[in-house]
Amino acid sequence: MAFFYQEPSHTFSEYLLVPGYSSADCIPSNVSLKTPITRYKKGEKPAIEMNIPLVSAVMQSVSNDTMAIALAKEGGIAFIYGSQTIERQAEMVRRAKNYKAGFVVSDSNIRPNQTLQDVLDLKAEKGHSTMAVTDDGTGTGKFLGIVTSRDYRVSRMDKNTPVASFMTPVEKTIYAEEGISLKEANDIIWDHKLNALPVLDKEGNLVSFVFRKDYDHHKDNPNELLDSQKRYVVGAGVNTRDYQERIPALVEAGVDILCIDSSEGFSEWQKRTLTWVRETYGDSVKIGAGNVVDKDGFRFLAEAGADFVKIGIGGGSICITRETKGIGRGQATAVIEVAKARDEYFEETGIYVPICSDGGIVQDYHITLALAMGADFCMLGRYFARFDESPTSRVLINGNYMKEYWGEGSARARNWQRYDMGGAAKLSFEEGVDSYVPYAGSLRDNVGLTLAKVRSTMCNCGVLTIPDLRQNAKLTLVSSVSIVEGGAHDVLLKDRTGSMSK
């Protein structure tokens, strides 16, 4: 007879934290969000720790090299998506690892024969007012000049005016040569009152920009996550099909940690992949696995050698696995059970295998709940897709700026390897959707706000570290009525224009 769980599975929205005693030391500035991402033995330190408990999802619409750099600056790790050629993914890893802090590869570029309208369209798409003018319109082409908002006036110019007629040409542009230090570049910016300094190679090709606005960020950025060579820590996703070719290329490119990207990880395919990694590289290559939703799945992957185990099936905002296949589990219940299995495994073996909550995060406080329930860190897709640093376009929908966001199981991504069960090499049916999410601005501002909420809630619980939260948190299930009670209710709300709305 089939096994039936006696209790229904629950989501994060069905729980609340109950406050604990807060001492005078319980202030947000004293909270540490350090957390392990790789397995370690009792009494030892993990090979990789993060400074914040956030990683970005292995998705085309979320994690490229730009996201990897931005998230590492804040203390987390991005897993660059694997549903692309091995060469392209390795190049993304290489660019992120070779990124020189403060030197930004230009992603807003235009040709001199384009028009003012093209400038306005690019500004709307990218959100940047500074654009490089290059011969081929790329970020590495021959540098011909620069366009900023001070170079044109929309109300007084024909929108068909060619860029060449109003740009600041290279001979009138202050620039630096490749090899300049960040300090020297910032000195030039301050001495000449510049907002942006182009950096060119000996042939006059654009290499990067140094921006005035980044000065304070690079001067005071205590959470950035660096390897032993002072390079940003970068992750990448792999599948269970071409791993014997893909993993060596990623390792050669400098990747710090890998993650098997699969909708369901309790399988022989993942065990084969993990076994090959351990036989080929020993413990020198770090790799996580998943996804699972119960203790049996966790135990299987932990014993197979996974450095961390990812939890969650069907809980992502663009995932329709539960609708199409009828498998999955409420994310809160899954995290609670797997966390208990993780602790039991640690007691038995002396090996701690971190767990990652992947999916089901709708509100910022859900992150804190996941950590309290036992997760070591959270993987987020929709959350990071909203930011400037995600690889998708910003579009105007019904008067509001949105970012494109699609699932790896959608027809657009066609990432059949993620859903592969050893059958035909194709996506037989969709398990994800193609969508939009509200544009939210920069990653740094939003992550800072989210983590401020996490730290504040931890202080309300009387704890200053994630392990203490996990040990001392008190959680309560809530009824549907108390969920309504928890939001604004029984009042007439003012909107931002000052008018009244219900």
Catalytic residues: 319, 418
If DSSP codes are grouped into helix, strand and coil, which group holds residue 131? strand
Q: Residue 207: phi, psi to the nearest 5?
A: -105, -45
Q: What would the two tokens of residue 460 be? A: 């309300």
Q: Residue 186: phi, psi to the nearest 5?
A: -65, -35
Write the DSSP assignment of 137-178 as a string of letters.
Answer: SSTTSBEEEEE-GGG--GGGS-TT-BGGGTSEEGGGS--EET
Residues 6+ apart with CB under 8 A from 440: 386, 387, 446
For residue 261, which of 231, 301, 220, 291 has the smallest C-alpha distance? Answer: 291
Amino acid present at 71:
L
The four Cα atoms 446, 451, 457, 462 give a dihedral, to 10 degrees, of -160
433 touches 440 (CB < 8 A) = no
Residues 6+ apart with CB under 8 A from 5: none
Q: Residue 488: phi, psi to the nearest 5?
A: -65, 130
Amino acid present at 95:
R
